Chains A and B, each alone.
Chain A
Amino acid sequence: MALKIVKGSIDRMFDKNLQDLVRGIRNHKEDEAKYISTCIDEIKQELKQDNIAVKANAVCKLTYLQMLGYDVSWAAFNIVEVMSSSKFTYKVSCSQLQLQSVDAVLITTIINSVSLPLVTQDLSSPNQYDTGVALTGLSCFVTPDLARDLASDIMTLMSHTKPYIRKKAVLIMYKVFLKYPESLRPAFPRLKEKLEDPDPGVQSAAVNVICELARRNPKNYLSLAPLFFKLMTSSTNNWVLIKIIKLFGALTPLEPRLGKKLIEPLTNLIHRALDLLYGMVSKKNLMEIVKKLMLHVDKAEGTTYRDELLTKIIDICSQSNYQYITNFEWYISILVELTRLEGTRHGHLIASQMLDVAIRVKAIRVFAVAQMATLLDNGHLLTGNMQRNGICEVLYAAAWICGEFSEHLEDPMQTLEAMLRPKVATLPGHIQAVYVQNAAKLFATVLRKQEGTTDSLAAQETSQLLIDRLPLFVQSANLEVQERASCILQLVKYIQKLQQKEVEVAEEVTALFAGELNPVAPKAQKKVPVPDGLDLDAWINEPPSESESEDEKPKAIFTKEEPKHTRPRHTEVDEKELARRREARKQEQANNPFYIKTSPSSQKVYQDQPGVEHIPVVQIDLSVPLKVPGMPMSDQYLKLEEERRQKERSERKKKEKKKKREKHGRGRRADSGPESEEDITPAHHVDIVTEEMPENALPSDDDDKDPNDPHKALDIDLDKYVYDVQGNLQDGSQVVVSVIFENKTDHFLKSMEFNVLDSLNSKLQRPEGSSPHDGLAVPFQLPPGVSNEARFVFSVQSIVMPQKLKGTLTFIVKTEDASTHEKLDFKLHFTCTSYLITTPCYSDAYAKLLESGELKSSSLKLEGVIMPFHHLLARICFHHHFSVVERIDSCASMYSRSIQGHHVCLLVKTSNQTVSIDAKCDEPSLLGNVLDEIKHTFSQC
């Protein structure tokens, strides 16, 4: 016990020195330099002593001074000396100091002449972390001399049994090579070995070193290419992969054959990168990302990679129901641009996207139709060498969109003409069929327009055009084309006859193609409920025989564009029946959650409609061929979109200023998630909670919560007192206890005497000459219902432990006829908190205090704390006399000082009702007790 005290006091002696330094610097703001020079003198004295602990303490102070910017290089020798000590902590602090104070020349000389044995001794230390620290320190101050002398030692360490050492040794070899290149030759075989080290850490370190070396002189490392190639294909560590690729970047110019070998693994890597993109997109960055991809598409060599990019673009754009597309005009333009790719296999993919968007996004149809008309007009560009050209598939979509939504066409006649060009006959059969069918739809639209203008001659000419051109398709080898063409041809001939009789036919022709087309969710068919009484498993007709039952399913060419095939065209059904069925169908769809509803407002797909309508539509010259020179169209959209967002932002700001809460059109954007990312300005304001305190109405009677609280324990209603124990700042050994006495009786109380049983540690201060058993007179009398406060001073020796003192209060109760002598027992609880005094601390001083490294740490976790963070801080401030140094979000640093000058630092963090408190103090037991008390405070709430 005695030994412990002695040891403790020595500890404190050191503490005080270090603390004095910090505190002294703070107190000598004006003549800091002078103060520090005296401190340095002291340190010099300390360094001369034999005791290594004293020296270490001096070095610690030097660390602190050095951080403040003072030159401590004169102590380099001592630093090295302390570093040679066997204690890990000393070394750590020293290596910290060294790496920051490298006054190259000085240290080099000293290290080389004196400390080399010390470092080598460390290098061969049995403890891997000692060696580790030595290596880390060394890495910062390798000099040519040191490199030369230590190269062989470090080389030995490269084969150390512990991977931890091997890895550090490998890395430091790089520094050694730089300073002492001669060491490379003998060390290289071993370094190469490390490339195949079983430990991934060592391996990556070796890759790192070799890559860095190779960057300087790639030629010498060509022989390693196969090894690296193997690593590249087998390693899953991205960090290593990046380095290897960098290395190959340096090697390929020297060995062209390498390039070919690298294509495959590199494409794999690019593949992975592309996959990442998929998850990266947001509404905000989609356009930008696609623009970049389009650039790569343009630059890409080899169709496989280009097709890969193309599918990726479409995947990215169409993911989650086109969730990220804010501007469908832009998307259509992108699709149109993609049709320029020669030799792509993904024509049908683009086509199905065009169909999908045009059908589902109503607002885009006008634009889409115009674009498709241009495509049709320039069809010859696409069909250049169509035999192996998958891109002509997009004409399928173009023709169908133009036909189906022909009412939006600006010049249907021109499109009709384009669709009936002889060149069309060279297209694949299924596309021709669509052309023919949709030519008929267009024909209906054209007729309608022309009859409206009472120009019957033009209408007849249109019919004549069809009659002239259709025979080409009637001769088609493709059955479907032939059938449709001859059917339509007969129809047109009949129409022409009627036209010649001056009969208006447009109405009836249009009726052939009437009916709204509704988009249907992919799984909708499956979800249709089976009507009552229908047994799908029952045979309608018994199967005649096995062989015949296997129907050959017609091979669908487009799996995704079912609308075309599923759309029933009941041309023979009369108008009434049609209307009835349509109504029924609408009804059913409305009730079926799996159908996408037709009303735009309730439809997810259409949610972008308002946005689209707001976009000032660019004037696109339709006569311009597809290969627009200069800026591609999608870029214009990107620009436009940026401008639009810019405008919206400024508008939004204006609106916010005016405090108008109107929502129209753009309101939707303001709500959209990704866009609002922009609005997040990093505002981490620092609250000083101590100042907030008055606002947080804290329960003032918290002291009463102590279960040992005397007036509760005694349950005597005679009188009541509340006490507060407060440390005395002026005197480190004094505590003042303020006691409030309140008379709750109906009688007069007088001659009160307050006495406490002294303990070894704490004594009530009595007037001189009185014995320890004498009580102190309370200097007032209490009439009924009155309260008053008295203060008593206690002297305390050690403040690291909480204490409980027993005491009694004697008093005389004066009633009308008599007086009685009464006694009340109580306990005074001196918590460790009561020895703390709220002391403000600036964050700089706080940082320095912590940096000095003299504090011991401890921590505490509180679960299930539901109060707001600032309440929590206020509570700690209030009950435990802390002040908040700094607060950042849900993290705060707090400071307090004991009456004996112990620093207590807290770092309070909260997340999900868990509060963690990291604490540091130069007195561990004080800290432990304070933490216990804090815990106690929160366990009661």
Chain B
Amino acid sequence: MRFMLLFSRQGKLRLQKWYTATAERDKKKMVRELMQVVLARKPKMCSFLEWRDLKIVYKRYASLYFCCAVEEQDNELITLEVIHRFVELLDKYFGSVCELDIIFNFEKAYFILDEFLMGGEIQDTSKKSVLKAIEQADLLQEVSGYPW
């Protein structure tokens, strides 16, 4: 996976994760372009599309778009599954997650993503073990206290 973006229906970026080094300028351009493409698509249209040399897999959950860019040889369906699993994890962690949760706890959302995917590959397929790791990291953070 090259990168993952979460953005709202209004085109506001909520979370971004890049798994390959990309210059800041290029990132912005890609994000803008991709959001336009995805937001213009109708609900009944396919969740997969080819964009530049990448395959884009996206899925909309309520007002939030989860969008992944994978390479040509990658499987779209498993990417869709990855997105869904990520949403399931968010849902488990936040308890019926919604966009506001991700705005509200964006660092947690990053945490969860980091525990689930690493370098663009699935790190752990077990929801339980991912959540356990997050819980423990939460605990650790509480103990070590806030710096500010």
Report A's interface with B, CB cutoff 8 A: 11, 14-15, 18, 53, 56-57, 60, 69, 71, 73, 87-90, 92-93, 96, 99-104, 127, 129, 132, 135-136, 139-142, 164, 167-168, 171-172, 174-175, 200-201, 204-205, 208-209, 212, 215, 237, 239-240, 242, 246, 681-682, 684, 843-844, 846-847, 850-851, 853-854, 856-857, 886, 888-889, 891-893, 905, 907, 909, 911, 916, 918, 920
| Most chain B beta-carbon contacts within 10 A, residue among A14, A90, A201, A204 | A201
> Separation in Å of the A237 CB from the closest CB of chain B?
6
Q: Are B119 and A888 in contact (CB under 8 A)?
A: no
Report 14 cross-chain contacts, Cβ distance below 8 Å, ordered by A residue. A56-B147, A57-B148, A88-B144, A99-B17, A102-B22, A129-B136, A140-B21, A164-B133, A171-B123, A201-B129, A851-B106, A888-B62, A891-B98, A905-B104
Q: Does B92 contact A (CB under 8 A)?
A: no
Of A11, A96, A139, A853, the residue contacting B119 (CB under 8 A) is A139
A-B pair number, CB within 8 angstroms: 162
> Separation in Å of the A850 CB from the closest CB of chain B?
5
| Most chain A beta-carbon contacts within 10 A, residue among B28, B124, B126, B136 | B124
Q: Does B46 contact A (CB under 8 A)?
A: no
Q: Are B146 and A140 in contact (CB under 8 A)?
A: no
Q: A100-B16, A893-B104 are in contact. Are A888 and B63 (CB under 8 A)?
A: yes
Q: Does B114 contact A (CB under 8 A)?
A: yes
* A71 neighbours in B (Cβ, 8 Å): 24
Q: Are A11 and B148 in contact (CB under 8 A)?
A: yes
Q: Are A200 and B22 in contact (CB under 8 A)?
A: no
* A212 neighbours in B (Cβ, 8 Å): 121
Q: Which 4 residue pairs across A and B have the least CB separation, nearest first?
A: A139-B119, A201-B124, A239-B125, A104-B21
> With A and B bound together, what is the CA distance between A844 and B81 in angstroms?
30
Q: Are B114 and A89 in contact (CB under 8 A)?
A: no
Q: A87-B144, A90-B147, A96-B110 are in contact. Are A171 and B75 (CB under 8 A)?
A: no
* A175 neighbours in B (Cβ, 8 Å): 119
Q: A57-B148, A850-B103 are in contact. Are A682 and B125 (CB under 8 A)?
A: no
* B12 neighbours in A (Cβ, 8 Å): 843-844, 847
> With A and B bound together, what is the CA distance between A713 and B103 in angstroms?
45
> With A and B bound together, what is the CA distance between A708 and B56 in angstroms?
62
* A682 neighbours in B (Cβ, 8 Å): 43, 60, 62
> With A and B bound together, what is the CA distance between A624 and B143 in angstroms?
81
Q: Are A129 and B148 in contact (CB under 8 A)?
A: no
* B118 neighbours in A (Cβ, 8 Å): 135-136, 139, 168, 171-172
* A53 neighbours in B (Cβ, 8 Å): 147-148
> Separation in Å of the A217 CB from the closest CB of chain B?
13
Q: Does B100 contact A (CB under 8 A)?
A: yes
> Separation in Å of the B118 CB from the closest CB of chain A?
5
Return the CB mask of B77-91 against A: 1 if under 8 Å, else 0. 010010000000000
Q: Are B107 and A56 in contact (CB under 8 A)?
A: no
> Separation in Å of the A646 CB from the closest CB of chain B?
13
B58-112, CB < 8 A from A: 60, 62-63, 73, 75, 78, 81, 95-96, 98-101, 103-107, 110-111
> With A and B bound together, what is the CA distance between A53 and B148 in angstroms?
7
Report B's interface with A, CB cutoff 8 A: 12, 14, 16-19, 21-24, 28, 43, 60, 62-63, 73, 75, 78, 81, 95-96, 98-101, 103-107, 110-111, 114, 118-119, 121-126, 129, 133, 136-137, 140-141, 144-148
Q: Are B122 and A850 in contact (CB under 8 A)?
A: no
* A208 neighbours in B (Cβ, 8 Å): 121-122
> Separation in Å of the B102 CB from the closest CB of chain A?
9
Q: A57-B148, A164-B133, A200-B126 are in contact. Are A140 and B104 (CB under 8 A)?
A: no
> With A and B bound together, what is the CA distance between A893 and B106 in angstroms?
14
Q: Are A204 and B125 in contact (CB under 8 A)?
A: yes
> Separation in Å of the A69 CB from the closest CB of chain B?
7
Q: Are A174 and B119 in contact (CB under 8 A)?
A: yes
> Separation in Å of the B47 CB from the closest CB of chain A?
15
Q: Are B104 and A907 in contact (CB under 8 A)?
A: yes
Q: Are A201 and B125 in contact (CB under 8 A)?
A: yes
Q: Are A209 and B106 in contact (CB under 8 A)?
A: no
> With A and B bound together, what is the CA distance between A791 and B81 in angstroms?
62
Q: Are B17 and A886 in contact (CB under 8 A)?
A: no
Q: Are B125 and A102 in contact (CB under 8 A)?
A: no
> With A and B bound together, what is the CA distance between A240 and B106 in angstroms?
29
> Separation in Å of the B21 CB from the closest CB of chain A?
4
* B103 neighbours in A (Cβ, 8 Å): 843, 846-847, 850-851, 893
Q: A11-B148, A87-B144, A918-B104 are in contact. Are A174 and B121 (CB under 8 A)?
A: yes
> With A and B bound together, what is the CA distance between A579 and B23 in angstroms?
90
Q: Are A140 and B122 in contact (CB under 8 A)?
A: no
Q: Are A916 and B101 in contact (CB under 8 A)?
A: no
Chain A: CB-nearest residue to B96: A911
Q: A893-B100, A905-B104 are in contact. Are A89 and B125 (CB under 8 A)?
A: no
> Separation in Å of the A144 CB from the closest CB of chain B?
12
Q: Are A205 and B124 in contact (CB under 8 A)?
A: yes
> Separation in Å of the A594 CB from the closest CB of chain B?
43
> With A and B bound together, what is the CA distance between A675 and B83 in angstroms?
27
Chain A: CB-nearest residue to B10: A843
Chain A: CB-nearest residue to B98: A891
Q: A127-B140, A212-B121, A215-B73 are in contact. Are A102 and B18 (CB under 8 A)?
A: yes
Q: Are B99 and A101 in contact (CB under 8 A)?
A: no
Q: Are B148 and A909 in contact (CB under 8 A)?
A: no
> With A and B bound together, what is the CA distance between A208 and B121 in angstroms?
7
> With A and B bound together, what is the CA distance between A440 and B50 in angstroms?
65
* A60 neighbours in B (Cβ, 8 Å): 147-148
Q: A103-B23, A854-B148 are in contact. List 13 more A-B contacts (CB 8 A).
A: A92-B141, A102-B22, A104-B23, A167-B123, A200-B126, A843-B12, A846-B103, A847-B14, A847-B106, A857-B105, A907-B100, A916-B95, A920-B104
* A215 neighbours in B (Cβ, 8 Å): 73
> Separation in Å of the B25 CB from the closest CB of chain A?
9
> Separation in Å of the B8 CB from the closest CB of chain A?
9
